[in-house]
Amino acid sequence: MSDKTKNDGFAPQEHLISILPSVLAGIFMLLATITTALVKYPLTMFQKGILIGYGVVGNLYLSFFYLLYISTSKNKLLYAWINAILVGISLGLLSIILPDEMWIQLSALMIVASISTSIVSERGPSYFIVLSSTLISSIANLEYLTQLHQRVIQFSLIIAALIVIETIQQLKYLSRQQINRLEIVNEFSRQIASSLDTEQVTSLLNAAIQNALEADTYYVGMVEGEEISLHLFYDEGEYFKDVHANMEGTLSGWVVRNRKGLFLPDLRRDVNLAGVKTVIIGKQKTSLSWMGVPMQGEFVNGIIAIACYRPNAFNRSDMELLSNMAQRAALALDNSLRHALVEEQAHVDSLTGVYNHGYFIKILRQQAETTQKSNQHLSLIMLDVDYFKQYNDNYGHLAGDEILTKLCETIRRHVKHSDAIGRWGGEEFAISLPDTSGVQAMQVANRIRETMSKVQLRNRKKEAIPAPTISQGIAEFPVEADEIFKLIDLADRRLYIAKERGRNQVEPDLSHWDQFEKQGKQPGGTSPHKNT
């Protein structure tokens, strides 16, 4: 927090604006009280001298009250108590000097003094001024304040002073809370403005929610098909991972589909939304307060929701704060996803959507380093479409492009998400298979080859085109090659052996890998591939 808001959330200029009316009122009322006593009532010279001195010192003190307060920046609370003691006792002593009939004016001075103190301090010093000055003046005017209506008026003035103090304190609390929330939102906005990482944005959002709102449960969800995937889910001190919620029939689904916030302060009452019911996720406890706001952007479609196990835990200000945070988070997530998309587009082949040559080598190098550390295997398939030039010459380049696209779609069907596919150049492709033996890689290669032989293709005239065949070469890291370029060179040489042998083949054949097993070099692998 900045220096200007260090004590109670208000800048010195803001204190001056708020306290100035009460200080001016105090000066005017003190002058009016002293003048009335001097003019209207018979006083001795001694009494007049004391009153004049009291008025001069009191008005000087009131005039410099604000400056005295801000000059004690490190000990404001101590000064507030010293001021309360001085003012309380001074007002009490003034009641001894003033005529008994002026006790109402004295009570008014007490109220103004407590207001001024309450504006710049907490309720303790303000209460002390009211109670101490009232006690002393009551003792001094005990004989005068004998009638019931006088006691009622005095008691009413005390209650009025306490009510004003409490009102000021509540307004200050709400103002401080609002300032704090604005600072949290501004700080959150500043931090995420330069972030292009989705996980970092989510982490900053997590911290901002914890600082700004008191919630037992909160989550950040993104729409994935007919479900909402909760990227961040916190429930009563515990974070949950891989949690999904249905879109249909849930509060979150309603918020996302309607693109508007939902504020439910008391879930003990029925949720008056057609087809929507409360669903428990996380810990098996029912939340009694809930609110959710949508996160909408070009690439973002999701929700931020918070809940509490007690009713009426949130108010409309909380809802507004959450909505502001959601808007800023959506913008930041949009930027990060847009950046990721641009980066991905720079890494992929525009026609087939697989990695380009340079990025595939980078991925292969990372996979090889991981393989060496984990003491596992990595297999590489180099793949080429047979007689591809003839397809371009006979059926046109559009037919050739369709063959390459169909080939990459087929490859994706037979590999895992952790595998990588790259366009090596022209009609040649590379497939890296981490944690996969040569035997398993050969099985994958044969599945790809068999699937491609059944692909149905047509030219622009809707005439059938014969399915292409493919040749493939396989090499295994690190047992056959302990460096990625040696691995690539070996798989590439085997690809051309398959072509020279007649094409539509995989090199080497099963006998090669059987020989590896007999020599103890091939453990057989642990990661079978399935259609996904």
Which helix (H) or strand (E) covers residue 157, if one does?
A: helix 148-193
The Cα–Cα gap between 192 and 198 comes to 10
Q: Are residues 122 and 146 in the same domain?
A: yes
Q: Are residues 220 and 84 in the same domain?
A: no
Closest CA to 522 of 411, 402, 439: 439
The answer to whether 278 touches 286, Cβ cutoff 8 Å, is yes
Structural domain total, the chain: 3
523: in domain: no
Beta bridge partners of 238: 235
Reading the chain (532 residues) residue by residue, the pLDDT tens digits are: 444 444 454 554 445 446 777 778 888 888 888 888 888 888 888 888 888 998 898 888 887 765 666 555 567 778 788 888 888 888 888 878 888 778 788 888 888 888 888 887 888 888 998 888 888 877 766 665 566 666 777 788 888 889 988 998 888 888 887 777 788 778 888 888 777 788 888 888 898 888 888 899 999 999 998 899 998 999 998 999 889 888 888 999 999 999 999 999 999 888 888 888 888 888 888 899 999 999 998 889 999 999 999 999 999 989 999 999 999 999 988 888 888 778 777 889 989 999 999 999 999 999 999 999 988 999 999 999 999 998 888 888 888 999 999 999 999 999 998 999 999 999 999 999 999 999 999 999 999 999 999 888 887 777 788 888 999 999 999 999 999 999 999 999 999 999 999 999 999 988 888 776 666 554 433 333 333 2
Determine how many CB atoms are found less than 10 A away from the CB of residue 230: 23
351: in domain: no
What is the model's pTM?
0.56
| Domain endpoint, select from 309, 342, 375 | 342
185: in domain: no
Q: Is 290 helix (H, G, I), strand (E, B) or coil?
A: strand
Q: Are residues 39 and 107 in the same domain?
A: yes
Q: Are residues 227 and 294 in the same domain?
A: yes
Q: List the catalytic residues.
A: 427
Q: Are residues 54 and 79 in the same domain?
A: yes
C-alpha distance from residue 426 to each of 358, 384, 404 (Å)? 14, 9, 9
Q: Are residues 46 and 164 in the same domain?
A: yes
For residue 248, the enclosing domain spans: 198-342
Q: Which two tokens stand for residue 439?
A: 């035997």
348: in domain: no
| Domain endpoint, select from 342, 374, 407 | 342
**Crossing angle for the helix pair 484-500 and 357-374, nearest 10 degrees?**
110
| pLDDT score at 68 | 65
The Cα–Cα gap between 487 and 377 comes to 12
Q: Are residues 212 and 153 in the same domain?
A: no
The answer to whether 471 touches 498, Cβ cutoff 8 Å, is yes
189: in domain: no
Give 449's DSSP letter. H
The Cα–Cα gap between 514 and 516 comes to 5
CATH code of 439's domain? 3.30.70.270
The Cα–Cα gap between 135 and 507 comes to 104
Query: Three-state secondary structure along 62-114?
Result: HHCHHHHHHHCCCCHHHHHHHHHHHHHHHHHHHHHHCCHHHHHHHHHHHHHHH
| pLDDT score at 115 | 84
191: in domain: no
Q: Are residues 386 and 319 in the same domain?
A: no
Q: Are residues 205 and 315 in the same domain?
A: yes
291: in domain: yes
Q: Are residues 253 and 140 in the same domain?
A: no
Q: Which two tokens stand for residue 471?
A: 């040749």
Alpha helix positions (H), 279-423: 316-347, 357-374, 388-395, 397-413
Q: Are residues 377 and 275 in the same domain?
A: no
| Domain endpoint, select from 283, 311, 342 | 342
Q: Which amino acid is at 96?
A: I
89: in domain: yes
Q: Are residues 8 and 114 in the same domain?
A: yes
